[in-house]
Structure 1
Amino acid sequence: MNGEPAVAAGVRRKLRVGVLATAVTVALALLCCVGGAGAFFLTELGGDRDDPELAALTCDPAYRVNLTGDMPRFAEYGEAQLRNAAVIIKVGQDMKVPARGWVIALATAMQESALRNLANSTVPASLALPHEGVGADHDSLGLFQQRPGWGSVEQRMTPSYTARKFYQKMVKVPNWQQRPLTVVAQRVQVSAFPDAYAKHEELAGRIVDALAGGAARTVEIAGRAVCDAAAGARIAASGWTAPLPGGVVSGFRTAARPSHDGVDLAAEKRTPIHAASAGRVLVARCDPDRSGRRDCDRDGWPNKGGCGWFVDILHAGGFITRYCHMIERPRVTPGQAVEAGEVIGLSGSSGNSSGPHLHFEVHNSGDRSSRGAEDPLPFMRKRGAPLGKSE
């Protein structure tokens, strides 16, 4: 959208396996967004993410959280609270729960107890159980504020026990890795304030990263942790995924295109576009062009104006993602809840475009305007769902 035609005369796709690097040169002609012409060389087009060699791109999958060593520093939590977080993560590792589950469990405990092992008046003094505060709920105990049906008083005051019980119930939630953290946590906890879990998701991911070697920026393939490989329907532990596997062919607010509020991703017509994270659809419609017409059911052209068929999705933390130039009416409607990786439409060239691709934007603070736009490349890479690189 609003960009230049990008004719990629040479495309390099690099696949690094362990310490070995192989390069495959791919030549293709690619017409991209509107403006002046330019040649782009992609260092990471993305390609077929189902390649079995991808499993060799490990991110130290054997890294074990350390329960006794020095804890990282977070302004929000003290050392004892972070050790409780480490226990939650270790139990998830021992149970072979994917790293996305560690983030969900941690965010839940952050809301329920602020990562403190809370006692209450039902705990007999004779048990002499270690605790770090007294909870407000008369019969809820421990890190997850579990009620009597979860176990005995002693069990519910044992962090490793409560974490295990949480995971056992969490993994039974259908599609738990793709669904919003709030939905999954609520299915386990049945809280009176189900939306409260969402505010802890990003910090929970950062704590998991700090305690478990960047685990919140990985995806799981065949039971192995894989660094920065989220694409299509593969969901990183952070809850994000790349909207499609194509590499970046036009960047964010470049010198040549300072008003380009997103990045353009290489894609042939009718490539499935995935929701980058779970959320709620704000907009799904045909964007009018400069003349005010809504004629998105055909290819666009340079300087036509408008996003064509497009979708805006609101995610936890107030982030909004935008997907432009779809070939036909989106597969979602305003107000609809979508899961991470769900197909929301097909790529095309409607609107202000000279060739098929996906224009992808990220906005913060719930601001859909240009003021709220930020560079999608570092944003997505930080969340383990990189969009590829351009030179």
Structure 2
Amino acid sequence: MSTKEEPRRRIRAGVALGVSAALASILCCGGGTVAFFLTTLSVDRQDLIAAEANCEEDHQVRLSGNIPRLGSYGQTQMRNAAVIIKVGQDMRVPPRGWVIAVATAMQESALRNLSNSTVAGSRGIPNEGVGSDHDSVGLFQQRAGWGSVAQRMSPDYAARKFYEKLLKVDGWERMPLTRAAQKVQISAYPDAYAKHEDIASQIVNALAGGAARTVQIADRSVCDRASARAIAASGWTAPIDGGVGSGFRTASRPRHNGVDIGARKRTEIHAAATGRVLVARCDPDHDGNRTCDVDGFPGKGGCGWFVDILHAGGYISRYCHMIEKPRVVPGQLVKAGEVIGLVGSSGNSSGPHLHFEVHVDSDRSFAGGINPVPFMRQRGAPLNGSA
């Protein structure tokens, strides 16, 4: 979709995990055509904000100046991330692959091109540090079977080899990030990749014009349209389609710790991102009764049948007022977009809807709640079905 077909407006979106707040746009994106000019790969704060604000077809991002730190990642590490993304663009890998690749390199090398003292150090190959894992070298800590030392120490070569193997994994785009990365890396710590997913998405957004907000539709990267089983490159999706009614902590409802999305009874509710179920049960009302199998009413109290899911980055999503017992159980790993229950009106409810919350820092209490509307919009999964 071109800028002529879609009016532009900008929004302010909070970025978690130490990444500075940045402007986002509702424009549709074709992330695969965003280009990097690696000979001048650095950027000041205003250039970075402008790069993230642009999310449009055929837009080229020219980076100049100094790259600011994002969280704990400095200029050298951000340059390596840009190389990884650029290779993915050249190979026409969808933006979800860029997020997976960047997150993998974050785990393997902290985005530093690591050498090995016994393998590469004695050969005079430039490096950004020395690793300690046998003969593993480079951004992805690839071993001898991936190529020569010189090849594996080339960020461009290492990224290309990663993508080549990723593309051979059947269904990789719908896999949890940690599983997709593990299919390529075959790591001794297969669950370690997941914790980097959120910051990897923020890096991709910053360097590639919001590409982590895109979803692949008919081989095109379309921005801010992830819902139900359509998963954004960030790994998030809106749990149901529908407009937001009652908002987050409004003047009339200051204790309302989420938003209400209207929907018919028995509408499928989808997990907003891959994660592990913390809670799936009937929440008692103000009198301590567990009467979730009948419709509730205002003032009854409680979430009714509800589910809490823990996601990468310490985020928790909550889904309240289901019509019947959830389809998931505590401890279960669920994929983004997986059906976890059905819309109902149990608990403190005046009619069928989904009450949806997002919490930070693994804090399920009121104190951990944040407004899910800007949070989900920044991840390409707006709660009202459009940006």
Please indicate the TM-score interval, normalised by the length of the shorter structure: 0.7 to 0.9
Q: Which amino acid aligns with 1:147?
A: R
Shift of 1:201: 2.1
**Does the 8 Å CA contact 1:81/1:116 hold for their aligned counterparts?**
yes
1:92 to partner: Cα distance: 1.1
Q: Is contact 1:58–1:224 with CA below 8 Å preserved after alignment?
A: no
Q: Which amino acid aligns with 1:77?
A: Y
- Paired amino acid for 1:122: V
1:122 equivalent to 2:119? Answer: yes
Which of 84, 89, 99 pairs up with 1:88? 84
1:74 is aligned to 2:69: yes
- Counterpart residue type for residue 256 of structure 1: S
Go from structure 1 to structure 2 and tell me whether the alpha carbon gap of 1:60 and 1:166 turns closer, same or farther (over 3 Å shift): closer
With normalisation by structure 1, the TM-score equals 0.81
**Deviation of residue 384 (structure 1)?**
1.2
Q: Is the 8 A contact 1:287 1:307 kept in 2?
A: yes
Task: Answer whether contact 1:380 1:387 (CA < 8 A) is retained.
Answer: yes
| Alignment check: 8 A CA contact 1:307 1:325 kept | yes
Aligned to 1:65: 36
Question: How many residue pairs get matched?
Answer: 341
Tell me what 2:294 maps to: 298
Deviations 1:226-248 (A, max 9, x none): 11111111111111110011110
Q: How does 1:137-152 map to 2 (within 5 A)?
A: 137-152=133-148
- Segments of structure 1 that go 5 or more residues without pairing to the other structure are 1-15, 23-55
Q: 1:153 to 1:388 in 2, by over 3 A?
A: same
1:265-290 per-position Cα deviation (integer Å, ceiling 9, x unaligned): 01111111110000001111111122
Percent identical pairs in the alignment equals 67
Check the 8 A contact 1:218/1:228 in 2, yes or no.
yes
Identify the residue that residue 289 of structure 1 maps to in structure 2: 285
Q: Which amino acid aligns with 1:19?
A: K
| In 1: Cα distance, 2:98 partner to 2:5 partner | 31
1:124–1:235 distance in 2 versus 1, CA, 3 Å: same
Distance change (3 Å), C-alpha of 1:151 and 1:224? same
* One-letter code aligned to 2:34: Y
Equivalent residue number for residue 191 of structure 1: 187
Q: Structure 1 residues 312 and 77, CA, compared in 2 at 3 Å: closer, same or farther?
A: closer
Note if contact 2:377-2:383 (Cα within 8 Å) is conserved in structure 1: yes
The residue type paired with residue 120 of structure 2 is V
Residue identity in the other structure for 1:292: G
Tell whether the 8 Å contact from 2:178 to 2:193 is kept in structure 1 after alignment: yes
Q: Higher relative contact order at CA 8 Å, sep ≥6: structure 1 or structure 2?
A: 1
CA distance in 1 between counterparts of 2:201 and 2:216 reads 16
Mapping of 1:22-33 within 5 angstroms? Answer: none
Deviations 1:304-360 (A, max 9, x none): 211111111011111111001111111111110000011111111111111111000
Using the size of structure 2 for normalisation, the TM-score is 0.82
- The Cα of 1:361 is off from its aligned counterpart by 0.5
Q: How far does residue 376 in structure 1 lie from its aligned partner after superposition?
A: 0.5
Partner of 2:61: none
Q: Which position in structure 1 is the counterpart of 2:308?
A: 312
Q: In the alignment, which residue of structure 1 is the partner of 2:97?
A: 101
| Aligned-partner residue type, residue 360 of structure 1 | F
Q: Is the 1:325–1:357 Cα contact (8 Å) retained in structure 2?
A: yes
1:217 correspondence with 2:202: no
